[in-house]
Amino acid sequence: MLSRRSDAGFTLVELLVVLVILGVVAAPVANAVIVSIRNTDATSARLAVSHDAQQSSAFFAQDVAAVGLRDYSGLVANGAVPFSPSVQLNAAYDSGGQVCGTAATPVSVLRLLSDDWDTSTPSATRRTAIVAYHLAGTELHRLRCLDSATVSDSVVAHHVDPATPVVTCASACTAAAVPVWVKLTFSAVASNTDPYPITLFGQRRQT
């Protein structure tokens, strides 16, 4: 007697049921993967902005600590040499006759002036140090010069909202009496994250 061959396999209904189950399982898994990727991107963007904040804060505190340009052409009262205006706002590259950069350099949000003494020679030479914070697109640059010669030009913050930078001082920023502290605030807007407020603060150490 001949045995009948088995017709083992899946019916169309069984295949449809499997496809439905796979769809039900795959949808939440796919959503979880997409959310995880988005969270990773947002976290990376926030870390990048946070790094910018730390880096720019360190530079800014150092620059404000040194601010103060003495006026040796004036009268010396009680042995103290008076200051010249040492903080400039919305300043061109040659503002006040102190050159830092070129005509192509964007107007600086803030410029800080200070004395710099070159002690490499027997007779110390006084130079003017200028640190200019300016925006190039959405990047905040720190341009440093000595007697009009550019020493460095670096980006200290990215993704800056150009409409947000604000400078405040302990007293009148541009007065001859150098303010005790200077603050620069702005917002960084990285992709996949909310605007991140950054405050740069520095306190003058000169008296």
State the average pLDDT over residues 13-33: 72
DSSP state of 4: P
Contact 175, 201 (CB under 8 A): no
Domains of the chain, by residue range, sit at 43-203
Phi, psi at residue 117, to the nearest 5°? -100, 125
pLDDT at position 85, please?
93
Residue 115's pLDDT band (cuts 50, 70, 90) = very high
pTM: 0.76
Q: What b/e sequence results for 27-49 when a residue is b if at least 16 CB atoms lie within 10 Å of its CB, and e otherwise?
A: eeeeeeeeeeeeeeeeeebbebb
Q: How many CA atoms lie within 13 A of 72 on its CB side?
A: 5
Q: Using the predicted structure, report yes or no on whether residue 88 has a pLDDT greater than 80.
A: yes
**Residue whose C-alpha is closest to residue 196's, from 39, 45, 40, 35:** 45
Contact 159, 53 (CB under 8 A): no
pLDDT at position 38, please?
54
Contact 147, 100 (CB under 8 A): no
Check residues 69 and 34 and name the one with the higher pLDDT.
69
Across the chain, how many H-helices and E-strands are there? 1, 10
Check residues 122 and 156 and name the one with the higher pLDDT.
156
pLDDT at position 46, please?
65
Q: Using the predicted structure, report yes or no on whether residue 2 has a pLDDT greater than 60.
A: no
pLDDT at position 94, please?
95
